């Protein structure tokens, strides 16, 4: 059975008419609860100190006190700080610990984490691009703490995960693999020559692609997944903004193409624990259908 994590606290990051809003996780939750049986993973209270493993302490403390100090956005108006955003973002990052525990205790082998705000643009020193804290980086650190020493991250969001790359750029125990649209946010990161630094050299692989990409060409990029990185756990930054009905990109990935991608990722996992963490995806119909396809394959493949 697939582990599923959702908590109503994720609706309390108030972003108004912004495309990254609470309806995303609410509609996904309704679909999953009405369509699938699953193994429930509950949100547990966590401490902010955990965030210091991936973010600079001064940044975490600034966000914590931000709202009361009059801060209403992080870096720019893309990333809103509402009254309870800190608490929600802390929950989104640290709830991932429960999923790692469930893998460790062999309660589950696969999980889907329906959370927000997303995380992969949040760098060590600063959030941005709708992201406050880096959820998948936090999960990778928890996984390592609990004995999953080598962590593979695949990021199929249409945008480059500059934050995840930044946090693990000098690390040879976390392999970051990203496919993303070249001419899209965050623009100044994500090129093929960013391959990691120091010990981390060779453990960062970016596959930028042209505008208007279609299924076959997109899927062929996954031939480049590393063959010699013997990971203990696979984490996926599942951003559904690469789908053809999304307004935020020009990529033309179909539901059939998405199915093939998910199958490809599950084959690559070689039956190691796999967690999908929600990142982008803003056309609500397309998003819900895409998560349904993902969850179904996690469940039966």
- Bridge partners of 277, per DSSP, are 113, 237
- Shortest Å distance, C-beta 178 to Zn ion: 11
Q: Does 141 bind Zn ion (CB under 5 A)?
A: no
**3-class DSSP state of 221:** helix
Paired sense of beta strands 73-74 and 76-80, if any: antiparallel
Comparing CB distances to Zn ion, the nearer of 190 and 239 is 239
Provide the 8-state DSSP code for 212: T
Stretches 31-39, 98-106, 153-161, 206-214: which one binds Zn ion (CB under 5 A)? 153-161
- Shortest Å distance, C-beta 216 to Zn ion: 22
- Shortest Å distance, C-beta 250 to Zn ion: 13
Comparing CB distances to Zn ion, the nearer of 267 and 285 is 285
Instruction: Please state whether the peptide bond connecting residue 117 to the residue before it is cis, i.e. omega within 30 degrees of 0.
Output: yes
Asked if residue 253 lies in contact with residue 243, where contact means CB atoms within 8 angstroms, the answer is: yes
Phi and psi (nearest 5°) for 104? -60, -45
- Region label for 198, one of left (φ > 0), alpha (ψ between -120 and 50) or beta (otherwise): left
Comparing CB distances to Zn ion, the nearer of 102 and 248 is 248
Q: Does 119 bind Zn ion (CB under 5 A)?
A: no
Q: Nearest 5 degrees, angle CA 233-CA 260-CA 176? A: 35
Q: Does 181 bind Zn ion (CB under 5 A)?
A: no
Comparing CB distances to Zn ion, the nearer of 184 and 204 is 184
Q: Pick from 152, 241, 257, 283: which binds Zn ion (CB under 5 A)? A: 241
Q: Does 257 bind Zn ion (CB under 5 A)?
A: no
Q: 181 burial class (0-12, 13-18, 19+ CB within 10 angstroms)?
A: buried
Q: Of 13, 120, 121, 160, which residue is the catalytic one?
A: 121
Instruction: Check if 121 is active-site.
Output: yes
- Shortest Å distance, C-beta 28 to Zn ion: 16
**3-class DSSP state of 180:** strand
Q: Does 159 bind Zn ion (CB under 5 A)?
A: yes
Q: How many amino acids of this chain bind Zn ion (CB under 5 A)?
A: 5
Active-site amino acid positions: 121
Site for Zn ion, rule CB under 5 A: 157, 159, 239, 241, 280
């Amino acid at each position: 059975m697939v582990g599923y994590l959702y908590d109503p606290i994720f609706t309390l990051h108030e972003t108004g008419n912004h495309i990254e809003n609470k309806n995303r996780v609410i509609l996904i939750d309704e679909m999953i609860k009405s369509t699938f049986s699953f193994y429930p993973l509950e949100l547990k209270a966590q401490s902010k100190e955990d965030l210091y493993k991936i973010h600079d302490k001064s940044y975490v403390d600034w966000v914590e006190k931000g709202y009361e100090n009059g801060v209403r956005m992080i870096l720019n108006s893309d990333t809103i700080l509402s009254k309870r955003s800190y608490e929600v973002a802390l929950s989104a990052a640290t709830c991932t610990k429960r999923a790692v525990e469930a893998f460790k205790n062999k309660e589950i082998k696969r999980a889907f984490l329906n959370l927000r705000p997303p995380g992969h643009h949040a760098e060590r020193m600063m959030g941005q691009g709708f992201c406050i804290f880096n959820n998948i980086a936090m999960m990778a650190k928890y996984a390592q703490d609990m004995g999953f020493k080598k962590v593979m991250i695949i990021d199929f969001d249409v945008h480059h995960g500059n934050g995840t790359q930044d946090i693990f750029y000098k690390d040879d125990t976390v392999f970051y693999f990203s496919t993303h649209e070249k001419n899209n946010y965050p623009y100044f990161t994500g090129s093929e020559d960013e391959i990691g630094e120091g010990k981390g050299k060779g453990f960062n692989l970016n596959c930028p692609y042209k505008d208007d990409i279609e299924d076959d060409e997109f899927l062929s990029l996954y031939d480049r997944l590393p063959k010699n990185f013997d990971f203990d756990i696979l984490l996926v930054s599942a951003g559904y903004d690469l789908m053809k009905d999304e307004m935020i990109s020009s990529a033309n990935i179909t539901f059939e193409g998405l199915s093939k991608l998910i199958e490809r990722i599950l084959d690559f996992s070689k039956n190691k624990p796999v967690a999908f963490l929600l990142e982008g995806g803003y056309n609500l119909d397309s998003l819900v259908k895409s998560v349904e396809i993902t969850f179904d394959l996690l469940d039966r493949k």
